[in-house]
Amino acid sequence: MDRRAFLGRTIGGLGAVTLATAARAVAPFDPFAGIEPIRATPDRIFRTTVCLRPFRAAGPRIEVEEVGRKRVVHNYGHGGSGWSLSWGSADIAVGMALADGIRDVAVIGAGALGITAALTAQRAGANVTIYAKEQFPQVRSARATGTWSPDSRVAMQKAVDPGFGARWEAMARASFNIYQSYLGLPGDPVEWTDRYILSDTPFGEGRRPAATTVERPDEFLHLESRLRDIMPRSVDMAPGTHPFRPAFVRRNSSLTFNVADLAHQLTNDFLIAGGRIVPMEFHQPGELARLKQKAIINCTGYGARALWRDESIVPVRGQIAWLIPQAGATYGIYYGALSMLARRDGIVVQEVGQDEWFGYGDANEDVDHEAAAASVQKLAQFWA
């Protein structure tokens, strides 16, 4: 068809409809679209969970230890960055495990670090068996916030060695690249969503640090600036372009892990490729001798503190109140001491404190239902 003739007949047929009228008929951009208020009422809480993140001042432990005749490759201690660094950590750990041509590998632990290490070993040509006391959704990784946070309490500034920054960057980039392959899959196991940072005062104004009783021997290491080229930049939102009560709002975008779908996808991928998951609990390193595999990747997370008597692991407590998912709500908010992330598998509401020391050294895993209800009620005040 001749496009000019088609357009001529179409425009001629508009008759009395003027170009101005046609322009008004085009729906304008709605800055509020996609950030409808969350139904933040305690009656919508369907569960409350507590997770202890395994923090190590020196960063994740990824190294080889000989236990009897077994080569054990440790892969734990990622703090609040387990999901975000998992694939990059697996690359390093699997390389160590498969040295000398070994092709039969055991993985201890079925959380985020365990399942990604198992898949990475499979893709390198290994036969892999996972031995674990718990599987999804019982593992601690199932209670994660679900946001891309590769430098969230991952190490202390003075405790890391000179090469840590480069290793961290390699792990973060490798993980980021793998997660791109999960975008757009059924169930949206991984997706890009917006984040809104709210403030009652202009961004950049000095704020007094919150009082704390926690001893601060060092400062947490921040490395995210090394990923500037792959992370979207933040933009300030003018008044009237957002529905929030605080006057100052900043928006950026980040990866969201819908952990229920993601864990299901990864587990299925592992099993379809011939992997096995064997229920088994270990209480001391010597019990690994009963495994037939010579190479073992230890991905026990916080459990490594007891299993390996590793006192370098410090618990960091986090409690989440889970709200029923809300159709169309897929964004996050940070305001003061509270954060919210609306995922496909639940709306995460979490007290994060005034600084990164919140929950540090707290090994209490008891659920505080009153605090959960209070955090949800506080969330309801975010909107104008």
**Domains in the chain, CATH or no CATH each:** 42-382 (3.40.50.720)
Most confident of 5-19, 30-44, 345-359: 345-359
Most confident of 5-9, 217-221, 290-294: 290-294
214 band by pLDDT with thresholds 50, 70 and 90: low
Residue 62's pLDDT is what? 98
Expressed in percent and rounded to 5, the helix, strand and coil fractions of the chain are: 30, 25, 40
Task: Give residue 52's identity as a one-letter amino acid code.
Answer: L
Residue 362: helix, strand or coil by DSSP? coil
Residue 273's pLDDT is what? 97
Q: How far apart are CA 154 and CA 313, in angstroms?
A: 11
Q: How far apart are CA 265 and CA 259, in angstroms?
A: 10
Specify the higher pLDDT residue, 27 or 306: 306
Q: How far apart are CA 88 and CA 172, in angstroms?
A: 6
Residue 206's pLDDT is what? 54
Strand residue runs (E) in 174-216:
190-199
Summarize the confidence of residues 20-24 as an average pLDDT. 37
Q: How far apart are CA 212 and CA 379, in angstroms?
A: 24
Residue 91's pLDDT is what? 98
Q: Is the pLDDT of residue 86 over 80?
A: yes
90 neighbors 266 (Cβ within 8 angstroms):
no
Alpha helix segments (H runs only) across the chain? 3-12, 19-25, 82-97, 112-123, 164-180, 259-272, 304-307, 369-379
Summarize the confidence of residues 39-48 as an average pLDDT. 97
Residue 2's pLDDT is what? 47
Is the N-terminal amide bond of 137 cis, ω within 30° of 0?
yes
Q: What percent of the chain has pLDDT over 90?
A: 84
Summarize the confidence of residues 349-355 as an average pLDDT. 93
N-terminal to C-terminal alpha carbon distance within the chain? 52
Residue 1's pLDDT is what? 40
The overall average pLDDT reported for the chain is 90
